[in-house]
Structure 1
């Protein structure tokens, strides 16, 4: 059933004239008559009594008019809601953020996006980057922030940050105040790590193994500030990105540049290649790419 035919029928019933309905709808009278005839054939009922030049609704016509009004109103409401989505007056986006990334990079972005699109709801889920990547792949999240590289077969993305990991040690540590440190110098140290669902957990272990030792992990956490507090308390040392180190400095810890090897922390926004993205999600991707100065991620561009 064509929704337009119902609209033509309602206008004809309101004006009680094919001619006036055609004029009102900027159509020809034959077009209106044909649409009504097709509607009658489809419903198997006569909708108008033709009395000379006058027309009146039949009993079937009155029933159809009542239902047609409800149908066209619902269709108009649906069109309006879809229009709101297209114009970003409403919508919902599910975003995955690792905790230290969310607090360091996204409060201002989220605030600016909300100011521009106040009726778009952002649902933020805080998890480690490995869990975020898995949830985007499974469709549980629309968009995620992860530590690069990622699977290029599954995701589209852009990169917005690239930093080195630095060493943080207690203020009383022998390396406190040093101009730099080598990873191999830390073979006998206790380490405070991010949990296993964080990409940095495996990344640092692999780097330590390549440096010739298995790191002795005494504590794991999902919170960078708790990690820095544990270091300040003398529980061990930790490797944290430059952004986090700047926030951790002054808390009875010393930040030492890690020179050999340089361990890179590269952040990107990812979304599924083969999944439909809502208007709101597409605008969030465009908005954050511009806000954060995002750049394309090329396959094989990862750094050690």
Structure 2
């Protein structure tokens, strides 16, 4: 079983099709199709169901996908560790960061890291938390930013904790309060983030623990647009306090969410048992030293 065929299969699943996978792998679509066919022939089972809507894993395909991620990650970890033992310094940090929080939390870290380690190249992957976790498992990146809690497949180093605040239209009954309980907001539509944002999971899980599922008014991946929708009266939104303070608006009320179990907790995560290069270890060390993260 060739690892390049497993990598091609993993990319087809993750990208949702052969064309997108080919672009990621810098290969032609026929080459990727041939790799999947070879893998299916070798295993004697179909791994993908193909249709006009894309591809979907068969039951056997799901098993192969999980194992492929593990095998690919182990290979990359092995090569990195051997390079370190040989004294090689590739000078590369393969880092993933989520869209939410990258400017406030990670931008100052990039500047400090570049000044301290100018010889290290940074390969940056900016994706939602679920995609970053898949990339970690596949060995495409070494370390990533994600919200706690994470699965037991990862180790984590907490970076910053912030309470959530509720953004409300000025006419909302809770707009004049200093803080508000989540249950008091159950009848107000929620403006959520796009699929893949870990903050959605925090918000929805928090509501369900309190006995209700939030009514969705809209979803977006742009913070400023979400704030504008609140101002227009479409519903409420939630942000980490520091991010809301960077976007003050006279037509939006900001009220502290009085639910400590729903705090926004950013962490650095990496695959449990993985070997971290010197570049990744330096990123972890820097995170523990940055003044804006000491909170």
- What's the counterpart of residue 124 of structure 2? 124
- What's the counterpart of residue 99 of structure 1? 99
> Normalised by the size of structure 1, how large is the TM-score?
0.63
Q: How does 1:127-166 map to 2 (within 5 A)?
A: 127-152=127-152, 154-166=153-165
Is 1:113 the counterpart of 2:80? The answer is: no
> Normalised by the size of structure 2, how large is the TM-score?
0.65
Is 1:255 the counterpart of 2:237? The answer is: no
Aligned residues of 1:95 and 1:124 also touching (Cα < 8 A): yes
Task: Kindly name which structure, 1 or 2, has the bigger radius of gyration based on alpha carbons.
Answer: 1
Q: CA RMSD in A?
A: 2.4
Q: CA deviation at 1:249?
A: 2.3
Unaligned runs of 5+ in 1: 1-78, 296-304
Distance 1:260 1:149, change over 3 A: closer
Higher deviation after alignment, 189-198 or 129-138:
129-138
Distance 1:155 1:171, change over 3 A: same
- What's the counterpart of residue 276 of structure 1? 275
- What's the counterpart of residue 57 of structure 2? none
Q: CA deviation at 1:216?
A: 0.8
Is 1:231 the counterpart of 2:235? The answer is: no
Q: CA deviation at 1:96?
A: 1.1
Distance 1:115 1:260, change over 3 A: closer
Distance 1:208 1:195 in 2: 17
Distance 1:216 1:261 in 2: 22
**How many residues are treated as equivalent by the alignment?**
210
Aligned residues of 2:168 and 2:231 also touching (Cα < 8 A): yes
**In structure 2, the residue corresponding to 1:160 is in which secondary structure?**
strand
Distance 2:156 2:292 in 1: 13
Aligned residues of 1:224 and 1:244 also touching (Cα < 8 A): no
Distance 1:180 1:279, change over 3 A: closer
Unaligned runs of 5+ in 2: 1-82
Aligned residues of 1:164 and 1:263 also touching (Cα < 8 A): yes
**In structure 2, the residue corresponding to 1:111 is in which secondary structure?**
helix
- What's the counterpart of residue 9 of structure 1? none
Distance 1:179 1:293, change over 3 A: closer
